Amino acid sequence: MTRNVFVVGLNDYNAERLKTLRMVEDVVFHQLLTPAQVYETQEFDIPSMLAEAEATLDAFDGSIDAIVGYMDFPVSTMLPLLSRKYGTPNTSLESLLKCEHKFWSRKVMAEVIPDHVPAFTAFDPFDDDALSKIGESNLRFPFFVKPIKSSGSRLGFRIDSPEDFDFAVQKLRAEIGQISEPFNVVLDRADLPDDIRAIEGHYCMAERVIGGRQCTVEGYVHDGEVTLYGTVDSIRYPQVLSFFYYLYPSTLPRQVQDQMWKISRKVMKHIGYDNAGFNIEYFWDEVDDKIWLLEINTRIAQSHCDLFEMVDGVSHQQVTVDLGLGRKPDMPQRQGTQNVAAEFFYRVFFGDATAARVPSRAEIEVAAEQVEGTRIVSNLSKGMKLSELPEQDAYSFAVASVWMGAGTTSKLLWNYEQVMKRLNYEFTDIED
């Protein structure tokens, strides 16, 4: 009997990759909303998207066996609402928001893993006295600020001085509405405690700066059982907050990874998260041998799909599909063709600029051919301004992503250099 899986924001590339998963011979994958609606934009009309998705599902002449997605906001927050209406497996909206509402998430973490949570407070960026109120909470420079609903590294700032805070507040006031307004739509549909309801979508978090070697633990919960299946290192460019590449498997000491996995099981069990995938970002401070939990994401990391496919033999979209169908995920280990794999981010560190030249499709294909199995995605078109790119951090622009594998990490880095020599970007109207 055919089973129908609806994937929010499904694109052509992933439509083909999903067919390579295990135990999907009887599964038909259907697009639910287009990529342009859910991630190739910076404006999210959630009521309209939900209405269109529901109209599609209501009109479908067949069984609705799963409703899944593997992207961040707004997809992640819409899934529990759709699953609740159509009776497909997923975690509850409230348990999801205990992860995605960053203030609520920190409060819940502090209940069970206080030694791994930095000092934090919420603040209103539209309050002219916000900085003094942050100081009253005993947070001192330096600290980090971000929206209570962040997406990627967007609108995240390190604050070392009042001038830094003023700059961050100006950016937050100008742009936070793109996140806060749709997020408030979701909050209005949830059963929230009064103290959390008071921290609306336009609020921000201030947290003590934490650091060290950063990584992401990937896992899922099925029928109350928390399972972890991989740790991916997050390597930054020197002296900046922007990511250079994600590396799998992690090179962290095994005992550090084991401790992170133990913390992950404890916090996800406490939250009551169930029947869905997640990933948790951590720092390991080598000097003090201290583990800090940075944040919880209520989805698999799409950037890691190629990495798991190359090293373990299948994309961890396997986890998403299996859970959506109500079954325990069948995720293999070390059955891929590569020992290590990475996603590299080719970035430029401008205030803004215009793309005067970008690699052609043929040039990208030639560059990818330098190393077998390489996949390259260019994010720019000629004449496009860098500021038009969605989901960028506050310090750089990722103009291309490169996924590749190798036998060793050193060979992987050497391969990346050979590939990038073939890609030529040129910019005009450069702003420092």
- What is the tens place of the pLDDT at every residue in 343-379? 999 999 999 999 999 999 999 999 999 999 999 999 9
Q: Please give the CATH architecture assigned to the domain spanning 340-431.
A: Alpha-Beta Complex (3.90)
Which pTM value belongs to this model?
A: 0.95
Tens of pLDDT, residues 70-117: 999 999 999 999 999 999 999 999 999 999 999 999 999 999 999 999
Contacts of 268-271 with C-beta under 8 Å, sequence gap 24+, read 268/219, 268/221, 268/226, 268/296, 269/224, 269/226, 270/108, 270/111, 270/112, 271/95, 271/98, 271/99, 271/108, 271/296
Q: Which pLDDT tens digit goes with each residue over 288-323?
A: 999 999 999 999 999 999 999 999 999 999 999 999
Tell me the CATH number for domain 3-95. Answer: 3.40.50
Spatial distance between the Cα atoms of 296 and 299, rounded to a whole number of angstroms: 9
DSSP string, 314-330: S-THHHHHHHHTTS---
Backbone angles phi, psi at 159, to 5 degrees: -115, 115
Does 12 score more than 70 pLDDT? Answer: yes
Q: What is the reported pLDDT for 274?
A: 98
Tens of pLDDT, residues 39-80: 877 788 999 999 999 999 999 999 999 999 999 999 999 999
Q: Taking 90 as the threshold, does the pLDDT of residue 153 lie above it?
A: no
In tens, the pLDDT along 405-425 reads 999 999 999 999 999 999 999
The architecture CATH gives domain 119-209: 2-Layer Sandwich (3.30)
Percent of the chain with pLDDT over 70: 99
Does the structure show a pLDDT above 90 at 22? yes
Q: Which residues contact 239 (CB under 8 A, 6 or more apart)?
A: none
- Which pLDDT band, with edges at 50, 70 and 90, does 152 fall under? low
What was the pLDDT predicted at 229?
Answer: 98
pLDDT of residue 395: 87
Which residues, other chains included, contact 241 with Cβ-Cβ below 8 Å and sequence gap of 6+? 153, 156, 158, 393, 394, 395
- Is the pLDDT at 207 greater than 80, yes or no? yes
The H or E element that residue 33 is part of is none
Residue 432: per-residue pLDDT: 82
Residue 196, Cβ density class (10 Å: 0-12 exposed, 13-18 middle, ≥19 buried): buried
Looking at every residue in the chain, the average pLDDT score rounds to 96
Range from 84-93, 207-216, 234-243 carrying the lowest mean pLDDT: 234-243
Q: Which two tokens stand for residue 326?
A: 């109500």
Strand partners, 232: 216
Mean pLDDT of 395-404: 96
Domain ranges (residues) in the chain = 3-95, 119-209, 340-431
What local confidence, expressed as pLDDT, does residue 61 receive? Answer: 96
